Each structure stands twice: as C-alpha cells, then as structure tokens.
C-alpha cells in the first residue's frame, strides 16, 4: 500500500550523500558550539581539538561523497586550526570570528551542493585570506599531507623494547633497590642540557610545557574516542518518516485495544477480560515508549541561539550573555523543529528592544552586561519555555497608547494590566519607536502567537518597566495524543483538551437567562460567561433540562462551554481531519472512540474566537 511504504527509490549514492549532509549538519552544529565555548575558554585544548576534528571529518567525508569544494575549503581551515593545536597561533577573537564565518561558508557550500546552485566563492576566498593573515608565515610544522591528509596526530604507542633496567632486573643481575638508587641519582635530559649550557632553562621549561599539553591532548582525545565509540554503539540513526509511521500504527493499535477492552468488559468472559487487560497494559507501554522515541532534548535548539545572541548583540553594540537552563527537557521532534522560529523572534525582540546599551544600563545602575535567560522545564503535562531578559521591560501605558492609536482598543476601554500586555500579540502591533534591521516592523508577536497556537501551545507575557520582560510558552509534550474530556451534545460526541478544563458544574436551564440573550452565570461569586456547544455547532434537538457547564481557561480568561453530558476522560489519539476541513474554526481534529464511532476534538480558543467575532 502506497502510504505505508517508505520511499526507497533513492539510489545508494544519493542515500550516502543525504547521510553525509545530515552528518555535516550535526558537525556544523558541534563546530559552532565548540567555537563559541572556545570564546570563553580559549585555553581549553579539548575544545581546540573538537573544532579540528569537526573540520577534519567534514573534509574527509566531503571528499568521499564528492563535495570537493567543501573538502578543499575545510582543509584550509583545518590547517590553520592544526597550528592552533600546536600552539603556533593563539585563540583570539579574530580567529574565532573567521572560523565562525568559515563554518557558515561550509554550510553555504553544502546548501549550494544540495540545490545545485553555484556557491559564492568570493566569500570563501576572503575568509581564507583572513586566515592566511593571522596564521604565521612560516611553513606549518610537521607536514602530514603524505600520510593520510592531515589525520589528527595520534602519537603511536609502539611496542617499546624493554628498558635496560627491566632486563637486568628480570635476569636477576640487579636488585630493585640498587636500581632505584642509581636512577634517583640520574639527571633528567633538560637538566643535563641546561648545565652543559646548550639550551637556556626557559626554553626547556617551554618545551616541557608543550610536552605536557600534548600529553593532555592525547589523553583527552583517547577518552573522547572511547566515549564516542560507546555512543555509536548505543544509538542508531532512523529516518523520521519511519518513526512517524510507527507512531501512527501505535495510535491505531491503541484504538483497537480500547475497542477490545470495551467488548471484554461487556462480555462477562473472565479469560477474555484478563487478556484485554494485558493488552491494555502492553499497548499503553508501547505507546509511551514509542512516543518517547520521538522526544528530543531541547538543548540542541538552545545552542543554536548562542550564535544568534553573540552576533546580534555585537551588531547592536550591546553586551548580552545568554544563560540557558533545562537543556535536557524533552519535547516531541515536530514541536522542537517548529518552536525554533518563534524563539528566534522572541530572542531578537529581547536583544533589540529589551536589553539596553551598556551606557544606558550603567546610567540606570544596572550591570553593563545584560542577561537573557532561556529556560525549559516541565510543568504538569506541559513544557514551559521562558525567554527572560533584564532589560527595559514594557510600559503598559505605552502599549495602551499605541493600541488606541492603532485602533485596536477604544480610548476608554477598561483593561487589566495583563490584557494590555496581551495586546502585544495583536496583528500589526509594535511598540518600537524606531524600525531597526532586527525588529520593529510590527510583524512579530502575532506570528509567534500563531505558530505556538498551531502547536497547541499558549504564550503569555509579563513585564515590569525597567526590570525586564518574560515571555512564557506552554507546549504540550506531544502532538499525537492528548488527555481529553469526552462530552455529548445532542447525539454527537466531542472531546475537549483536558489541560484547559478547570471544572464541571451543572447548569439548570432556568439558571441561565437565554431570553435576555446574555449567557452568564454566577459561579461562586464570579461571573462566567458561557456559550452552548449546541449553538456553536448547530446541533439539532432540544437540550436536556440540566446541562453541564464546563469551565475552561483560554488565554487568561475563564469561559464556560455548555454541553448535554460529560462522558469522562479519554486518551485521545489525534487524527487530522484532512485538507478538506482545513481551517475549520473551532475544530482541531478527530479521534476514534472505543466503540469505533468518531468524536471531534474541539479547539477551544479557536471556537471562542469564532463566537466572539460576530458578537462584538
């Protein structure tokens, strides 16, 4: 069957090239990370080594899979870093800038190779010229071109012939104590040379230091190799497509299993019930571990932003440190891929509008260096990602004035502080006084909000003028399965996302005042407005005398949804309704109930929006 089969039409060559491109993307990521870390720890030999190895692998595999220009370019860069390893060049800002540029250029070359467009060679030449400038004019030390094109230097550990003392000891010609005494009296080579006046003592010191460094390098490398070997054994690369297919199958299995459980419960056959229970447990575990496979730590995404913050703050003349926490927090692969762009937007905003220039900060009595915190953590069944800066913050009065100016609210609208800050997410809103190359065109926060809502997440902002802002993004752990609350309206089943449900109360018909058209109810002293699902979805028939009011929280407000009956919790495997039903307001998808019937999943915020619009 077509849809189940995976694309195997790729030739082996193409597959290898694709695998290389994927590997290269990872290497580039690692390269960037190492270069940025090197900035704060320029002496770290291990980091220098990581850079060298990444470039080296790029060169080697690039040549193997026919990316000659990548290989040639990487070779030049590698040569320079080889000199760094040998201590001929010290790590400095210029070197790092050039290497970051070089990394970008390799990426560009790969991109061109993928799309078959001619690369921009001028840029590459400029980088190489820059590298040539900072690299010492003298020929590089030990040329390793012949032996394996610059393989990392791995000092051979030869099967050394036994030392004289050892042989004598073995033969019993010498006793160990006498040997140690004789050895203690022996002078070391450096000492001998200095005493003979052949070499100055500083030179010997320097040589010794170099030796120590080389040893450390070697040890670190060996350790790293071991670590990598272990990793290689513990994980395999799987096409994302295959995983998606697996998740799909498990979703269907869960549905069939719940049907079996339902039949089992009604059958009264003890053996069958027990089998159904086992099946339930197994498929539950299978579902959890399958979804677990798709989970990735968000750290890789966070690391991508270091570069962004570094480059952007330099461009704007600001000093900003990016602090990340919770890198190990895992999210569904799709979510991770799609959260990157909104986060870039938020970071740009924080850098451009949030954090002030060093002079301004000093004048305000703040540390000249601003801080942006990027954190991720679990909160219940959600993951919360926060972007927090200690910059200027947002002035609600300014936001309000702007919103009035843009006609988003009326002059006298009474809005709470949160509601005012929420206006930032309205389309076409921007408080930036001047438009910069980075942001301020007023397209931004609404895009962020939409992207996050598409991931079934929510975004909120809080800010204190002068102290900074924090934007919190709440995301579901996975997109494939949600905990839902199943309800009945008429004879149609619907599922509400349980995470948004606050409480369910009964609503007697006469309590509401449908005659006046105002649908509000006094809930323990608080006024809650509500809508009937029957009305929203044009469900035929008369509602029962006692309906159920489900209080949900959506975008900071509490709203009631009225249905006929509440059925209960339901592990909801989300299925798309397909392109024919794309953009239906208020519906997020469908799911299959235990009895094989379908239930539609309600998109609460979409539903409320569609109800609000004609009303207001």
Partner 1 sequence: MDETQKKQDAELMQLVTFSIGDEEFGVDILKVQEIIRMMEITRVPRAPDFVEGVINLRGKVIPIIDLRKRFGLVSRGHDKHTRIIVIEINAMIVGFVVDSVSEVLRIPSSTVEPPPPVVSGMESEYISGVGKLEDRLLILLDLDRLLSHEERETLLSQL
Q: Is 580 exposed, middle or buried (0-12, 13-18, 19+ CB in 10 A)?
A: exposed
Q: Identify which range of 138-146, 175-183, 306-314, 584-592 contacts partner 1 by CB under 8 A.
A: 584-592
**Measured from the CB of residue 157, what is the shortest distance to partner 1 in angstroms?**
59
CB atoms within 10 A of CB 492: 19
Q: Identify which range of 94-102, 125-133, 190-198, 247-255 contacts partner 1 by CB under 8 A.
A: 247-255
CB atoms within 10 A of CB 589: 21
The neighbouring-strand residues paired with 493 are 488
Give the separation between CA 129 and CA 19, rounded to whole angstroms. 31
Q: How far is CA 582 from the centre of its chain?
A: 28
Give the separation between CA 26 and CA 540, rounded to whole angstroms. 56
**Measured from the CB of residue 489, what is the shortest distance to partner 1 in angstroms?**
10
**Measured from the CB of residue 217, what is the shortest distance to partner 1 in angstroms?**
54
Choose, by CB under 8 A, the member of 166, 252, 288, 503 that binds partner 1. Answer: 252
Closest CA to 252 of 477, 478, 480, 456: 480
Strands 481-489 and 492-497: antiparallel
- Pick the closer one to partner 1 by CB: 416 or 576: 576
Is 584 among the residues that bind partner 1 (CB under 8 A)?
yes
Structural tokens at position 14: 């193409």
- Pick the closer one to partner 1 by CB: 420 or 608: 608
**Measured from the CB of residue 587, what is the shortest distance to partner 1 in angstroms?**
7
Tell me if 288 sits within 8 A of 251, measured CB to CB. no
Choose, by CB under 8 A, the member of 586, 594, 603, 608 that binds partner 1. Answer: 586
- Pick the closer one to partner 1 by CB: 86 or 256: 256
Structural tokens at position 520: 């509000």
- 561-580 residues in contact with partner 1 (CB under 8 A) are 575-580
Q: Identify which range of 26-34, 57-65, 177-185, 531-539 contacts partner 1 by CB under 8 A.
A: 531-539
* Own/partner long-range contacts of 63-67 (Cβ < 8 Å, ≥24 apart): 64/20, 65/16, 65/17, 65/20, 66/17, 67/20, 67/109, 67/110, 67/113
- 490-529 residues in contact with partner 1 (CB under 8 A) are 492
Give the separation between CA 214 and CA 211, rounded to whole angstroms. 5
Choose, by CB under 8 A, the member of 91, 536, 550, 588 that binds partner 1. Answer: 536
Tell me if 498 sits within 8 A of 521, measured CB to CB. no
Is 9 among the residues that bind partner 1 (CB under 8 A)?
no
**Measured from the CB of residue 539, what is the shortest distance to partner 1 in angstroms?**
7
**Measured from the CB of residue 606, what is the shortest distance to partner 1 in angstroms?**
11
Size of the site for partner 1 (CB under 8 A): 28
**Measured from the CB of residue 255, what is the shortest distance to partner 1 in angstroms?**
5
Is 541 among the residues that bind partner 1 (CB under 8 A)?
no
Is 531 among the residues that bind partner 1 (CB under 8 A)?
no
3-state secondary structure 493-526: EEEEEHHHEEEEEEEEHHHCECCCCECEEEECCE
Please report, as ranges, the residues that interact with partner 1 according to CB under 8 A.
Answer: 251-252, 255-256, 492, 536-539, 575-581, 583-587, 590, 592, 596-600
């Amino acid at each position: 069957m077509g849809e189940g089969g995976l694309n195997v039409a790729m030739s082996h060559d193409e597959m290898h090239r694709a695998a290389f491109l994927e590997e290269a993307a990872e290497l580039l990521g690692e390269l960037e990370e190492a270069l940025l870390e090197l900035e704060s720890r320029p002496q770290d030999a291990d980091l220098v080594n990581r850079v060298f190895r990444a470039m080296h692998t790029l060169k080697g595999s690039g040549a193997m899979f026919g990316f000659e220009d990548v290989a040639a370019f990487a070779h030049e860069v590698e040569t320079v870093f080889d000199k760094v390893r040998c201590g001929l060049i010290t790590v400095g800002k210029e070197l790092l800038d050039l290497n970051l540029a070089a990394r970008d250029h390799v990426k560009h070359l790969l991109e061109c190779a993928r799309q078959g467009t001619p690369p921009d060679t001028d840029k590459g030449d400029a980088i190489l010229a820059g590298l040539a400038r900072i690299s010492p004019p003298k020929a590089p030390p030990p040329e390793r071109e012949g032996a394996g094109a610059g393989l990392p230097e791995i000092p051979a550990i030869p099967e050394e012939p036994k030392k004289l003392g050892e042989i004598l000891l073995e033969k019993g010609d010498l006793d160990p104590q006498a040997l140690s005494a004789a050895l203690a009296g022996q002078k070391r080579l450096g000492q001998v040379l200095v005493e003979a006046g052949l070499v100055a003592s500083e030179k010997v010191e320097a040589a010794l230091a170099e030796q120590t460094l080389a040893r450390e390098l070697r040890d670190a490398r060996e350790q790293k190799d071991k670590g990598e070997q272990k990793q290689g054994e513990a994980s395999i690369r799987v096409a994302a497509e295959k995983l998606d297919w697996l998740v799909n199958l498990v979703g269907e299995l869960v549905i069939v299993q719940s049907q079996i459980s339902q039949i089992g419960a009604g059958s009264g056959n003890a053996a069958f019930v027990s089998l159904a229970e086992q099946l339930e447990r197994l498929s539950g575990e299978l579902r959890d571990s399958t979804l677990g496979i798709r989970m990735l730590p968000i750290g890789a995404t966070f690391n991508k932003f270091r570069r962004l913050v570094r480059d952007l703050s330099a461009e704007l003349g600001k000093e900003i440190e990016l602090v990340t926490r919770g890198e190990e927090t895992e999210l569904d692969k799709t979510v991770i891929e799609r959260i990157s762009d909104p986060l870039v937007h938020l970071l740009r905003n924080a850098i451009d509008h949030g954090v002030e220039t060093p002079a301004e900060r000093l004048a305000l009595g703040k540390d000249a260096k601003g801080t942006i915190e990027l954190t991720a953590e679990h909160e219940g069944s959600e993951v919360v990602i926060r972007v927090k800066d200690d910059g200027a913050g947002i002035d609600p009065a300014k936001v309000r004035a702007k919103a009035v100016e843009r006609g988003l609210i009326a002059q006298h609208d009474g809005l709470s502080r949160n509601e005012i800050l929420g206006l930032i997410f309205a389309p076409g809103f921007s408080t930036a006084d001047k438009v910069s190359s980075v942001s301020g065109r007023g397209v931004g926060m609404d895009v962020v909000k939409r992207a996050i809502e598409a991931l079934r997440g929510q975004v909120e902002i809080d800010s204190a003028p002068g102290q900074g802002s924090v934007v919190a993004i709440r995301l579901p752990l996975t997109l494939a399965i949600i905990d839902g609350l199943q309800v009945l309206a008429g004879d149609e089943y619907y599922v509400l996302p349980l995470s948004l449900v606050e409480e369910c109360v009964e609503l007697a018909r006469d309590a509401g005042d449908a005659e006046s058209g105002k649908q509000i109810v006094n809930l323990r002293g608080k006024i809650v407005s509500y809508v009937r699902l029957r009305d929203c979805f044009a469900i035929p028939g008369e509602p029962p005398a006692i309906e159920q009011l489900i209080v949900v929280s959506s975008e900071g407000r509490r709203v009631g949804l009225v249905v006929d009956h509440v059925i209960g919790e339901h592990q909801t495997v989300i299925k798309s309704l397909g392109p024919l039903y794309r953009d239906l307001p208020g519906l997020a998808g469908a799911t299959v109930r235990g009895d094989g019937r379908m239930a539609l999943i309600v998109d609460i915020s979409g539903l409320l929006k569609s109800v609000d619009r004609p009303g207001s």
